[in-house]
Chains A and B, each alone.
Chain A
Amino acid sequence: AQRVTQPEKLLSVFKGAPVELKCNYSYSGSPELFWYVQYSRQRLQLLLRHISRESIKGFTADLNKGETSFHLKKPFAQEEDSAMYYCALGDQGAQKLVFGQGTRLTINP
């Protein structure tokens, strides 16, 4: 069965510090991984997907099939990064998503 685990419910870092949000998955096939973000009073939106291999708002994420992980990283956190972050795993050609429990990131000034 597909499963996504985000071990940290809450993560707090200072502005300018590096940030890493952890995501581990369980899937027997070829995974497609996503990070979604929800800023305060905004709708859930796509941040990045692993097949794009791009950096969005300074965030990157590398798929590590050996460790079954897709951690989200940013070298220098900014206050506007404070939000709820969800890791998601796609199956059936990425039509259906399984989400992790979410991590609430707070960037302190």
Chain B
Amino acid sequence: DVKVTQSSRYLVKRTGEKVFLECVQDMDHENMFWYRQDPGLGLRLIYFSYDVKMKEKGDIPEGYSVSREKKERFSLILESASTNQTSMYLCASSLWRQPQHFGDGTRLSIL
């Protein structure tokens, strides 16, 4: 069974901090994705990656960056956290042309 693991279920940070959210998958998937999930807005794609060291912007990349140094790991970085980045963050992975598998999510609060 596919396992997508996000390092933290809950995280509290302060405005202006640099925040790292980590995601690891164990099924050798090429594709990895970061979404944020907000009530009434659904899931919105922040960044995605088709391969190691490769990244593409999603629909709402402003204020975020990503890193994919190894195939199994995809990190989301908030360069300078702001209160409007308080949200649930979901990581997903997939094989080429196959459905995405999601992690449990990280609920991030920026104070």
Chain A residues near B31 (CB, 8 Å)? 95
Nearest-Cβ distance from residue A46 to partner chain B, whole angstroms: 5
Total of A-B residue pairs, C-beta within 8 Å? 50
Asked if B42 and A95 make an inter-chain contact with CB atoms under 8 angstroms apart, the answer reads: no
- A residues within 8 A CB of B104? 43
- Asked if B102 and A99 make an inter-chain contact with CB atoms under 8 angstroms apart, the answer reads no
- Count the B residues whose beta carbon is within 8 Å of the partner chain — how many? 25
Known: A94-B97, A97-B100. 20 other contacts (CB 8 A): A6-B42, A34-B99, A43-B102, A43-B104, A43-B105, A45-B102, A86-B42, A94-B98, A94-B99, A95-B50, A95-B97, A96-B45, A96-B48, A96-B58, A97-B43, A99-B42, A99-B43, A101-B40, A102-B40, A102-B42
A interface with B by C-beta (< 8 Å)? 4, 6, 9, 34, 43-46, 49, 86, 88, 93-102
